[in-house]
Structure formats: C-alpha cells, structure tokens
Chain A
Amino acid sequence: DGGITQSPKYLFRKEGQNVTLSCEQNLNHDAMYWYRQDPGQGLRLIYYSQIVNDFQKGDIAEGYSVSREKKESFPLTVTSAQKNPTAFYLCASSPRQGYGYTFGSGTRLTVV
C-alpha cells in the first residue's frame, strides 16, 4: 500500500545535539512538506519541496535544515540552533495543483 512513513515515532535529544527525522513516501508525489505542531498553535510550516533538489523555507525554518536528493525522501534535521525543539513533527506529501496532503503518522521529539 502507498503511504508516508515517518521514523522514529519517538525521539529524545540531548541539548546541543543535531537529530534527523526521516520521511519517506511511495506515492510518487512531487511535493513534500514538514510541519511542526504545538498545543494551541495548529500546524506551522517548516520547509517544503516541490521538486527534487529544490526546497523553500516555511514560516519557522530557523534552526532546521532539509534535503531533497530523491523524490521519495525528505529528511528534516533539527539543529542545536533550534531553541525549543520539543514538539510533534508531521511530514506530508501531495501531488501538485490543489490536492490535499497525505500525512505521515508523526514524530514526537523531546529534548532531555
């Protein structure tokens, strides 16, 4: 079955460490997205990519980095520059032009 796989489901990070969240899709979707979800904040866009080897900053890109070397994969790195990384992270993908997103099941990141 086609879908989006995020891993790991739970991730713990020590302060000062970089961590990478994985997102893989087999839906043949062109566009992929990373959102952060905090209580009362809804979903906020971190980065998105509409094509391989290209990506754009979203509303809260500071302290994050991404790559898009393959159509299927869009990993997110949370760097030590991100001041408050504890949150729920959602990856999504979409065919172009007006369709809704298909979401992964999310990664809960906690700084310890």
Chain B
Amino acid sequence: AQTVTQSQPEMSVQEAETVTLSCTYDTSESDYYLFWYKQPPSRQMILVIRQEAYKQQNATENRFSVNFQKAAKSFSLKISDSQLGDAAMYFCAYRAPHRDDKIIFGKGTRLHILP
C-alpha cells in the first residue's frame, strides 16, 4: 500500500530565511502525482504545489519549490524568504490516478515562523 511519511512533526525558521520540509513516500507505481498542502490556523486546506512524476523538472510556485527525487521516493518542499503568513501545518500528499484515485496524506509538519 502507498504511504506518505513526514519525519518532522515541527520546524521553526527565522523570518526571511529558507526552510526545507521533508517527505518520503512508498509506491510501486510509476505514474503518480505529489502535492504539498498548507493548512493555516483557519484550517482551510490550500494547495501549494503539484508535481507530476513523469516530469523531471521540479515544480515551482513563487517562493515555493520542490526537490523531487523519484528514485529515492523523496519530495521535499523549500520555502524561500519565509514570511509570517507561511506559519501553518504542511501536508505532503500522493495520488495515483489509475488506482483508487484518492489522495493519501502524510501526518503533517507544523511550521513556525520566528520574527
């Protein structure tokens, strides 16, 4: 069965600095999608970034970028120039479109931004 593991329950970073959140996953599929979701204190889940496994190029969205290592089954999120509004719970997630077509979430990493 597919699993998603986030080994860092909590992290802190100084405002304006860069932080990397780790994620590993386990799958036997070759075609799949990976996501990072942000859940701020409002608890609204927000899609941050999406990566297609067949694309070698790492996805980027403004200050957010990923390091996708398919062979290592690793999918880390880098946040540059951290801002106070980045403080949230971050969930790594996996989806294999040709199987159950549901998203499997990691347990999350709570990110604190220090002013």
Q: Please encode chain B, from 13 to 38, with 1 for each CB lying within 8 Å of some chain A CB and 0 for all others.
A: 00000000000000000001101010
The reply to whether B105 and A106 form a contact with Cβ atoms under 8 Å apart is no
State the Cβ distance, A44 to closest chain B Cβ, in Å: 8
The reply to whether A103 and B45 form a contact with Cβ atoms under 8 Å apart is yes
B residues within 8 A CB of A58? 102
The reply to whether B103 and A101 form a contact with Cβ atoms under 8 Å apart is yes
Interface presence of B95 (CB below 8 A): yes
Sort chain A's interface into a size bin. Answer: 20 to 34
Number of A-B contacts (CB under 8 A): 54
The reply to whether A106 and B43 form a contact with Cβ atoms under 8 Å apart is yes
Interface presence of B107 (CB below 8 A): yes
Partner of A96, one of B37, B46, B101: B101
B residues within 8 A CB of A31? 101
A98 and B97 in contact, given A41-B107, A103-B45 (Cβ under 8 angstroms)? yes
What 20 new A-B contacts, CB under 8 Å, besides A40-B107, A42-B106, A99-B50? A33-B103, A41-B107, A42-B108, A45-B102, A50-B101, A56-B100, A58-B102, A90-B45, A97-B101, A98-B33, A98-B97, A100-B33, A100-B35, A100-B47, A100-B50, A100-B93, A100-B103, A101-B47, A102-B47, A106-B43
